[in-house]
């Protein structure tokens, strides 16, 4: 009887570790996707020489991807000196009850 209890306890602990690991890996993949999108958005804005149409398109694509992006341009109307990007995304680990909003910040000069 003692062996059966230890066996079930071992299987239960192993299942919990697997479930926790899957949650951590999922959260890390979401973080990686958000950072990757931020990097590609900065690159796209920089390569377009900070074009207003590209900035609008990047912001719309972020919304379609489930991110909230706030873009601030610095400079005058005719010439943009820099762009600041602030993007928020959700970070979730279900088994631990973690549901946070993280922010990525980027700059294009």
Residue-wise pLDDT for 66-97, tens only, equals 999 999 999 876 788 899 999 999 998 888 88
Q: Round the average pLDDT of the chain to a whole number and report it.
A: 91
Give φ, ψ of 103 to 5 degrees. -125, 135
**Residue 63 contacts by C-beta under 8 Å, 6 or more apart in sequence?**
69
Domain boundaries defined on the chain:
2-108
- Which two structure tokens, joined as six digits, stand for 5? 């209890």
- Residue 87's pLDDT is 95
């Amino acid at each position: 009887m003692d062996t059966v209890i230890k066996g079930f306890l071992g299987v239960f602990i192993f299942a919990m570790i697997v479930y926790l690991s899957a949650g951590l890996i999922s959260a890390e993949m979401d973080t990686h996707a958000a950072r990757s999108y931020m990097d590609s958005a900065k690159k796209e804005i920089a390569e377009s020489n900070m074009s207003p149409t590209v900035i609008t398109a990047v912001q719309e694509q972020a919304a379609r991807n489930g991110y909230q992006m706030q873009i601030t341009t610095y400079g005058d109307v005719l010439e943009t000196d820099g762009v600041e990007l602030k993007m928020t995304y959700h970070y979730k680990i279900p088994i631990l009850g973690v549901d946070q909003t993280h922010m990525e910040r980027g700059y294009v000069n």
